[in-house]
Amino acid sequence: MLENFAFYLFLVLLITMLIMLAKKIRVAYPVLLVVAGLLISFIPGVPPIKIEPELIFIIFLPPLLYEAAWSTSWKELWRWRRIIFSFAFVVVFFTALSVAIFANYFIPGFSLALGFLLGGIVSPPDAVSAGAILKFVKVPKRLASILEGESLLNDASSLIIFRFAMIAAATGQFVWYEAAGNFVWMCVGGVGIGITMAYIFLKMHKILPTDPNTDILLTFIAPFSMYLVTEEFHASGVLAVVSGGLFLSYRSHDFLSSASRIRTVTVWESFCFLLNGIVFMLIGLDLPEIVNGLGDTDIYTAIGYGLAVTAVLIIVRILAGYAAVITTLIMRNFITVADAQSPGWKTPLIIGWTGMRGVVSLAAALSIPLTLADGTPFPQRNLILFITFVTILLTLLVQGLTLPFLLKKFPLVDRDFVRTEKEIDYEIQNKLAQVAVDKIRQDYADKVDSFPTLKDQLQKYENQLMSSEIIINYAEYRKIYIDILETQRVWLINKNREELLLDEEIIRKHLRLLDLQEERMNMKS
């Protein structure tokens, strides 16, 4: 580990540079990182990289899912719950079934159980890939919410299928009623334990004398605790992290101070930014290890199987998108659906084309044991691993690179948000100003003359309400305002340098306030 520390440090620097390059050329960064990992793996003398499944399932997966759950809108998740749950569970199952049937018929040596094992591995689209790529393309809010919600839950359903298929492939037995009971427990137990653990952490935040630093530490402990405790009870740790994260996110204003919320978001964004980069770089770097594992299997034949399985995944997902539309159009005659209008033929196509696979699939494949209980090699393990790698690579490169073109060719209309973000911003700002004026006039009218600052603030709110002017050239106004903030920042820095006895912590506090004002302007732009 220590002898390769310089190499790992170089990888972190390279990841940072590549993500900046990806933003510059408007390409989703997972694509560049995987390609870079592939190219680096061919350089002579590069230390061999071996992905340990436990590293993914314990170190990477809980925090990434937890952060995704915190940034997911519970309102949108509930609104589109039917299609999200159908894609996260029903579509994942039928995808695994389709792969199982294909593998059983067309790949020599694959039983139906081994086919299900492969299907459970490659069936779930990756949460990190989808989230990263959606940041670079313009899609309607409803589509983004569906994809984000699906990606939160499908890892759990696919890993459940994987576990049952592993038992069937290793023992040659499958007892359906035991599997059904285990499935129910994994889902119900996972959600129940996750929410219970989240409630315990909520109480810890509220009861203990925490500050922003300790609040951040508790948020780091929470996802790992949820995952490990739930797995000890043989339930779904993934569902526990997701449900617990959603619960705490929904209640965050009840137990976190404003300072804790601001700092927690900043720290978690930076932490997951690094984790995501490492994950996708590792996928590319692991190629030599995977190819060496093929042994006597012809690599071109294995690539052909990978291409075929990828085609099955894409076709099944596109068909599932159209099936979801047809089901919605039928069910609107019997129940209230989120949107009774037909989404047309474009939306299902785009949903079908967003099924990028990622590191969870690779970790699941790597977790297949080398041998069975009797000591014989696990059947088709190396081929399953190689097909999984090809599937991840193809979906990231082909779908990830062509999705922006597809959206440009077949643009989608956002029927939910017909007003621009700027219009909504100004409306909310005026409503907040009215709420503030009403509060001051009702509860603190006698205090206005006693506190000049309060009087100035009241005047500011009233001026905002009386003014109907909307800043048209907002970019120029933002540039002027930020220049003013920079001038104030320079004055503070010079003041700190000139007066040796001035407490620097006070200066830093005012610098942070200026940073918050600038960040507020950036959020409006």
pLDDT in tens, 83-118: 888 888 888 889 999 999 999 999 988 888 889 899
Tokens of 127: 């949460």
226 or 418, greater pLDDT? 226
pLDDT at 423: 67
| Residue partners of 50: CB distance under 8 A and separation at least 6 | 286, 289
Q: Which residue has the higher pLDDT, 515 or 118?
A: 118
Query: Do 431 and 403 form a contact (C-beta atoms < 8 A)?
Result: no
Is the pLDDT at 335 greater than 70, yes or no? no
The region that residue 51 occupies, defined by phi over 0 for left and psi between -120 and 50 for alpha, beta otherwise, is beta
Query: Phi/psi of residue 296, each to 5°?
Result: -85, -5
Please determine, for residue 523, whether its predicted confidence score (pLDDT) is greater than 90. Answer: no
Residue 356 has pLDDT above 80, yes or no: yes
Structure tokens at 427: 């409306």
Q: Give dist(CA 355, CA 478) in Å, integer.
A: 38
Q: 123-133, pLDDT tens digit by residue?
A: 888 766 766 66
HSE-up (13 A, CA, CB side) for residue 40: 23
> Domain map of the chain by residue range?
2-409, 430-469, 471-525
Give which of 154, 506, 147, 86 is closest to 323, Cα–Cα: 86
pLDDT for 310 equals: 93
The pLDDT assigned to 308 comes to: 94
Which phi and psi (to 5°) does residue 354 adopt? -105, 20
Which residues, including other chains, have CB under 8 Å from residue 56's CB and lie 6 or more apart? 279, 359, 360, 362, 363
In this model, does residue 333 exceed pLDDT 70? no
Q: pLDDT-derived band of residue 443, with 50, 70 and 90 as boundaries?
A: confident
248/380: higher pLDDT: 248
CA 302 to chain centre: 31
Q: How far apart are CA 491 and CA 503, in angstroms?
A: 15
Structure-block tokens of residue 415? 């029927």
- Higher per-residue pLDDT: 171 or 72: 72
| DSSP states of 230-257 | HHHTTS-HHHHHHHHHHHHHHTHHHH--
pLDDT of residue 190: 92
- Distance, in Å, from the CA atom of 200 to the CA atom of 222, rounded to the nearest integer, reads 10
- The answer to whether residue 399 scores a pLDDT higher than 90 is no
Q: Which residue has the higher pLDDT, 54 or 441?
A: 441
Mean per-residue pLDDT of the chain: 81
Burial classification of residue 222, based on how many CB atoms lie within 10 Å of its CB (0-12 exposed, 13-18 middle, 19 or more buried): buried
The stretch 374-403 carries a mean pLDDT of: 85
- Lookup: tokens for 434: 């009215």
- Which of these, 82, 215, 208, lies nearest to 153 by C-alpha position? 82
The answer to whether the CB of 285 falls within 8 A of the CB of 40 is yes
CB 355 within 8 A of CB 403: no
The count of residues in the chain is 525
Beta bridge partners of 149: none
Give 185-242 pLDDT, tens digit per residue.
988 999 999 999 999 999 999 999 988 899 999 999 999 999 999 999 988 888 999 9
Q: Which fold has domain 2-409?
A: Na+/H+ antiporter like fold (1.20.1530)
Which two tokens mark 351?
């949903």
Q: In angstroms, rounded to a whole number, what is the distance separating the alpha carbons of residues 57 and 321?
A: 29
Taking only the tens place, the pLDDT of each residue in 464-485 is 776 644 555 666 767 777 887 7
Taking alpha carbons only, the member of 417, 338, 450 closest to residue 85 is 338
d(CA 109, CA 107): 6
Round to the nearest angstrom and report the end-to-end CA distance of the chain. 44
> CB of 63 within 8 A of CB of 245?
no
Closest-CA residue to 316 (of 95, 162, 505, 475): 95
pLDDT at 59: 85
Q: What is the DSSP string of 452-484?
A: HHHHHHHHHHHHHHH-----S-HHHHHHHHHHH
Q: Are 128 and 279 in contact (CB under 8 A)?
A: yes
Q: What percent of the chain has pLDDT over 70?
A: 85
Question: pTM of whole model > 0.95?
Answer: no
Neighbours of 376 (CB within 10 A): 8
Report DSSP state, residue 59: I
Poorest-pLDDT segment among 170-174, 204-208, 241-245, 248-252: 170-174
Name the percent of the chain lying above pLDDT 90. Answer: 16
Whether 289 and 50 have beta carbons less than 8 Å apart is answered as yes
Question: Cβ atoms within 10 A of the Cβ of 495, count?
Answer: 13
In sequence order, which residues have a C-beta less than 8 Å from that of residue 123 and are 6 or more positions away? 92, 93, 95, 96, 99, 154, 158, 161, 313
- The more confidently predicted of residues 398 and 473 is 398
